Amino acid sequence: MAALSVAPEKTSPEENSIAVRKRVQFAHSIQKERYQNERSRFNAELGNKEIGEYCPLGKAQKKLLAQAFDTLHLSLRTYYRIIKVARTIADLAREETISELHLSEAIMFRNMDL
C-alpha cells in the first residue's frame, strides 16, 4: 500500500470529536486505496469473495468467530458482516490485519443488536 498522509494519533481514552473525525477520514482513505481496482469502495460493500481476499483471518480469529457463530446462532450473512465490521475496526486502529480484539468488538456490536 502506498504511503498516505501522516496518520492520526491512535485512539486515547478521552478522544475528542476532531480526533475521531481524523481517524475516520484516515480509515476512509485506507479503504479507497485498498479497493482502488475493485468494484467495492468500502469494507461494507465487500462481497464474500472479496472478504476472503482482503479480510484474511488467522487460526485464532477463525476459532473465535466459529465459537461466536455456534454460541449466538448467527446466520452466514451475519458471519460475513462481523468480518467486515472487524476490518473497519482494524482500519480505525491503523492495523494491517484483523486481530481477535477487532473481531471481539465486532461480535459485541452485533450482539447488542440482538
pLDDT digits over 49-95, tens only? 999 999 999 999 999 999 999 999 999 999 999 999 999 999 999 99
Structural domain contains residue 58: yes
Structural domain contains residue 39: yes
Structural domain contains residue 30: yes
Structural domain contains residue 4: no
Structural domain contains residue 76: yes
Q: What is the pTM of this model?
A: 0.83
pLDDT of residue 68: 94
Residue 1 has pLDDT above 50, yes or no: no
Structural domain contains residue 32: yes
- What residue numbers bound the domain in which 99 lies? 17-113
Long-range contacts of 71-74 (CB under 8 A, 24+ apart): 72/107, 72/110, 72/111, 72/114, 74/110
Structural domain contains residue 6: no
**How many folded domains does the chain comprise?**
1
pLDDT of residue 2: 41
